[in-house]
Amino acid sequence: MDRSVLLSGGGIAGSTAAYWLAKSGWSVTIVERAADTPSSGNPVDVRAGAVAVARQMGIWSRLEEAATGVERLVFVGADGRPQATIRTRQRVDRHEEVEVARNELVALLLEKAQETSLIIRDDSITALHQDGGGIDVEFQRTPSRRFDLVVGADGLHSTVRRLAFGPEKRFSRPFGMFVGTVRAPAPIEDARTVLLYNEPGTSLTIHPAGGKPGFAFIFRGQHDFDYRDADQGRRLVESTYAGGGWFTTLALEKWGASDDRYFDAVTRVDVPQWTAGRVVLLGDAASCISLFGDGSSSAIVGAKTLADAIAAHPDDHTAAFAGYEHTHRKHIRPLQRRAGIASRLLVPKTRSGITMRNAVLNALPFRNERRAPDSQR
Ligand SMILES: Cc1cc2nc3c(=O)[nH]c(=O)nc-3n(C[C@H](O)[C@H](O)[C@H](O)COP(=O)(O)OP(=O)(O)OC[C@H]3O[C@@H](n4cnc5c(N)ncnc54)[C@H](O)[C@@H]3O)c2cc1C
């Protein structure tokens, strides 16, 4: 019998799940809101369990080719002099992880998914109607269709989560930080080195990103923010960083001039149960601390776990979803705990915190072996 699944979101989680579900015989459709490949080329990691999945999908060597090649993070002072250094790659020599631009990762995963899945672009689900035998799905543009299952892999601000589980504010909590990134020509001395400058509660990063450099603004704040208001994000960065040292003036100039900016509040998503009947959540839509939680690798691992669980219980989605949730929650728990440490390391609240962080890193016996947390690589 033909079994059909609809994935909302052709990002990291959605395209990985599509590939594996099609492989186990499901008829797979992806609906992706973006008309083209995503523009956000922020560097993300593929590491740990995600490496094995990427290898099985046959994309590992292409990921290695696309790697940014970054190996270290250097904390600099206002004069640009290094204050402390940490290594960003665990085992460069053993090829156990790569950092790639998110859009390149998504393009590779989608290319694999496209071999066996139907992709509807520039569209979104608008309504879900479940009954005992399936789900009728309504779209903005595409005529309504019926599926056996729907997977919400549509990211931090998931539409499926809102439609099937409830309003976003019920599941999202602000982490007390914001992130803005812009790809722009930046002063790069060494393509393997990320530079980070702190003032109390803010950080400005220059990432070489494999020849496509960019600036990142990560800062603390409790502002009321609506992610749909792009101009609010632009203004928040400008007001927070005004008068800052190091390359702040240049970074703000690029930020203001670009039309390829990313901005959002760092958000903790926690949905108590990832399943609502025939609907299941995956990736950032289900659970994340956007930015600090190893989200790209978790999205890949979670997608494989979900596809395996569905393949093991093709006629029992309740058992499949329960198995996926049980296994994947165990995987992400320790990652979420590390987010607080990462944020304190990268964006100390006070000047003495910055001095202390640098002193601690410099006092460590094998300081160049210390590993940088996510989002600065
Ligand atoms: C600045 C920044 C830096 C980061 N750095 C790192 C890092 O260093 N390491 C790391 O592991 N992770 C990092 N992350 C996190 C990582 O990018 C996410 O955790 C990961 O992308 C989650 O994958 P996903 O597939 O769940 O969501 P996404 O990759 O966000 O994909 C969601 C997809 O759904 C689509 N979509 C959204 N709404 C709809 C809709 N209504 N209908 C159809 N489609 C829709 C989107 O267009 C998108 O393609 C970073 C994130 C940011 C913002």
171-195 per-position pLDDT tens digit: 999 999 999 999 999 999 899 999 9
Cα torsion angle, 321, 326, 327, 330, sign:
positive
Residue whose CA lies nearest to ligand 1 atom number 17: 296
User: What is the tens place of the pLDDT at every residue in 315-339?
Assistant: 999 999 999 999 999 999 887 777 7
> Who has greater pLDDT, 8 or 94?
8
Pocket test for ligand 1, best of 117, 154, 271, 281 (most atoms within 8 A of CB): 154
Burial call 353-376: b when 16+ CB within 10 Å, e when fewer: bbeebbeebeeeeeeeebebbbbb
Q: Is the pLDDT of residue 1 over 80?
A: no
Q: How far is CA 362 from CA 69, 84, 252, 332, 354, in A?
A: 24, 6, 30, 30, 12
Residue whose CA lies nearest to ligand 1 atom number 20: 296
pLDDT reported for residue 338? 77
Q: Is the pLDDT of residue 372 over 90?
A: no
Question: Long-range contacts of range 226-231, CB-CB < 8 Å, 24 or more positions apart?
Answer: 227/157, 227/264, 227/265, 230/261, 230/263
Nearest to 241 by CA among 261, 220, 227: 220
Residue whose CA lies nearest to ligand 1 atom number 38: 154
- Segment 155-161 shows an average pLDDT of 97
* Whether the CB of 201 sits within 6 Å of ligand 1: no
pLDDT reported for residue 247? 98
219 CA from centroid of ligand 1 (Å): 20
Pocket test for ligand 1, best of 204, 375, 376, 377 (most atoms within 8 A of CB): 375
Q: Which atom of ligand 1 is nearest to the CA of 15?
A: 25
Contact 127, 137 (CB under 8 A): yes
* Whether the CB of 159 sits within 6 Å of ligand 1: yes
The predicted model scores a pTM of: 0.94
Q: Is the pLDDT of residue 290 over 90?
A: no
* Whether the CB of 180 sits within 6 Å of ligand 1: no
4 CA from centroid of ligand 1 (Å): 24
* Whether the CB of 294 sits within 6 Å of ligand 1: yes
Q: Is the pLDDT of residue 370 over 70?
A: no
Contact 20, 111 (CB under 8 A): no
Burial call 185-215: b when 16+ CB within 10 Å, e when fewer: ebebeeeebbbbbbbebbbbbbbbbbebbbb
What kind of fold does domain 174-266+341-369 have according to CATH? D-Amino Acid Oxidase; Chain A, domain 2 (3.30.9)
Distance CA 274, CA 187 (A): 44
Question: How long, in residues, is the chain?
Answer: 377
pLDDT reported for residue 289? 87
Q: Is the pLDDT of residue 16 over 60?
A: yes
Q: Is the pLDDT of residue 294 over 90?
A: no
Distance CA 145, CA 162 (A): 20
Tokens of 328: 């994947």
Pick the CATH number of 4-69+98-171+268-340 from 3.50.50.60, 3.40.1280.10, 3.40.440.10, 3.40.50.150: 3.50.50.60
Strand extents, DSSP E, 33-157: 43-47, 72-76, 82-87, 97-101, 118-121, 125-131, 134-139, 145-147, 149-152
Residue at 172: amino acid letter: S
Nearest to 42 by CA among 141, 180, 189: 180
Nearest to 202 by CA among 224, 187, 180: 180
Out of 138-147, 152-161, 257-266, which region has the weakest mean confidence (pLDDT)? 257-266
Residue whose CA lies nearest to ligand 1 atom number 31: 11
pLDDT reported for residue 104? 94
206 CA from centroid of ligand 1 (Å): 21
pLDDT reported for residue 377? 42
Distance CA 348, CA 344 (A): 5
* Whether the CB of 284 sits within 6 Å of ligand 1: yes
* Whether the CB of 45 sits within 6 Å of ligand 1: yes
Q: 29 pLDDT band (50/70/90 cuts)?
A: very high
User: Cα torsion at 337, 340, 341, 343 (round to 10°)?
Assistant: 140
**Mean pLDDT over all residues of the chain?**
92
> Who has greater pLDDT, 365 or 157?
157
Contact 324, 304 (CB under 8 A): no
Q: Is the pLDDT of residue 292 over 70?
A: yes
Residue at 281: amino acid letter: L
User: What is the tens place of the pLDDT at every residue in 255-280?
Assistant: 999 988 999 999 999 999 999 999 99
Nearest to 152 by CA among 55, 305, 17, 258: 17
Q: Which atom of ligand 1 is nearest to the CA of 295?
A: 19
pLDDT reported for residue 260? 84
Helix (H) or strand (E) segment spanning residue 91 = none
C-alpha gyration radius of the chain: 21
Q: How far is CA 121 from CA 23, 94, 142, in A?
A: 22, 38, 10
Residue 200 has phi, psi (to 5 degrees) of -55, 120
Give me the residue label for tokens 């903790």: 268
34 CA from centroid of ligand 1 (Å): 12
pLDDT reported for residue 252? 98
Q: Is the pLDDT of residue 146 over 50?
A: yes
Q: Which residues pair with 195 in a beta bridge?
A: 74, 206
Indicate the domain borders of the chain: 4-69+98-171+268-340, 174-266+341-369
Distance CA 269, CA 327 (A): 18
